[in-house]
Amino acid sequence: MKRIYKVFLLILFIGIMLGAGLLYARYQENNNENKVEEVVSTGPNLPDPQKYYPLYPKGREKDISQNNALDQEVPGFRYSYLVDDLASSVNIWYQTELPEQGWNIEKSESYESVSFEYQATKDNDTVRILIEQINLDDDKSLTRVSFFKPGEIEN
């Protein structure tokens, strides 16, 4: 009987330790999901978009440039990053998060649930947001989120 009690305590101890380990791993994962990686370099005179725009959690591989890729004649900057989630999921997040952070969605368009475009304003700041699903060769996909901010870059 004493031996069964010891085995029971050992199994209980192992179960508690495994449970604690799983909870800690989940805590770390949730903390990491809610952090967007640092911008590698904003370059000279380029603003840091993380200070101004709501960025989808889990974003990675960022790129910032000093032109507006939609129209090379318009000065401004473009900030893009990749997400492993589907474009439709990222779109739902932005539909909720933009208004919660004080952004007014002035224009919203959807293209076959794989591409979404917004024009939003907040405090006299206007930005275009493009969410595009990119299908890869191996039946997987990524989503690219791009911010287009027209205007002169301040020195």
pLDDT in tens, 37-57: 433 344 445 566 666 778 888
Strand partners, 29: none
State the pLDDT at residue 34: 37
User: If you average pLDDT over residues 8-33, what whole number do you get?
Assistant: 71
Does 11 lie in the same domain as 67?
A: no
Does residue 29 share a domain with residue 55? no
The number of domains in the chain is 2
Instruction: With respect to residue 84, please indicate whether it lies within any of the assigned structural domains.
Output: yes
Name beta bridge partners: 150.
76
5 in a domain, yes or no? yes
Give the helix/strand (H/E) hosting 19. Answer: helix 2-33
Instruction: Judge if 76 and 120 occupy the same domain.
Output: yes
Q: What is the pTM of this model?
A: 0.62
One domain, residues 3 and 66: no
Residue 39 is assigned to a structural domain of this protein: no
Enclosing domain of residue 108 = 49-150
- CATH number, domain at 115? 3.30.310
First to last CA, the chain: 80
pLDDT, one tens digit per residue, over 94-112 is: 999 999 999 999 888 888 7
Q: Is residue 44 a part of any domain in this protein?
A: no
Contacts of 66 (CB under 8 A, 6+ apart): 43, 45, 46, 76, 77, 153
Q: Are residues 57 and 23 in the same domain?
A: no
Q: Are residues 144 and 119 in the same domain?
A: yes
pLDDT-wise least confident of 30-34, 59-63, 72-76, 125-129: 30-34
